[in-house]
Structure 1
């Protein structure tokens, strides 16, 4: 029974850490923009 309580506590703690890390990765401040960068490709003269 004691081991079960420790496992539940560990699962809750791990879930909290995962949630904190995921929110840092998502970056809710909107500082990053999603844009497509297009490069000019050189077309070879033969084709």
Structure 2
């Protein structure tokens, strides 16, 4: 029984790391879009 709970906890921690990595990538992606939108606005003002 102890081994089972250890395996479940280990799998859960792996899933959590994966999920956190996905969230981090999503945040970075959002930052790229924000930068891109700001550049477009600056370019529109120049024209």
TM-score, structure 1 normalization:
0.60
User: Which portions of structure 1, spanning 4 or more consecutive aligned residues, are displaced by more than 4 angstroms?
Assistant: none
Structure 1 position 30, deviation (Å): 2.9
Q: Which structure 1 segments of 5+ residues have no match?
A: 36-47
What is the aligned length? 35
TM-score, structure 2 normalization:
0.60
The whole-number CA distance in structure 1 between the counterparts of 2:31 and 2:6 is 39
CA RMSD, 1 decimal:
2.5
CA-to-aligned-CA distance 1:3-46 (integer Å, 9 cap, x gap): 000001011100000000000011178321286xxxxxxxxxxx
Larger radius of gyration: 1
The answer for the alignment partner of 1:5 in structure 2 is: 6
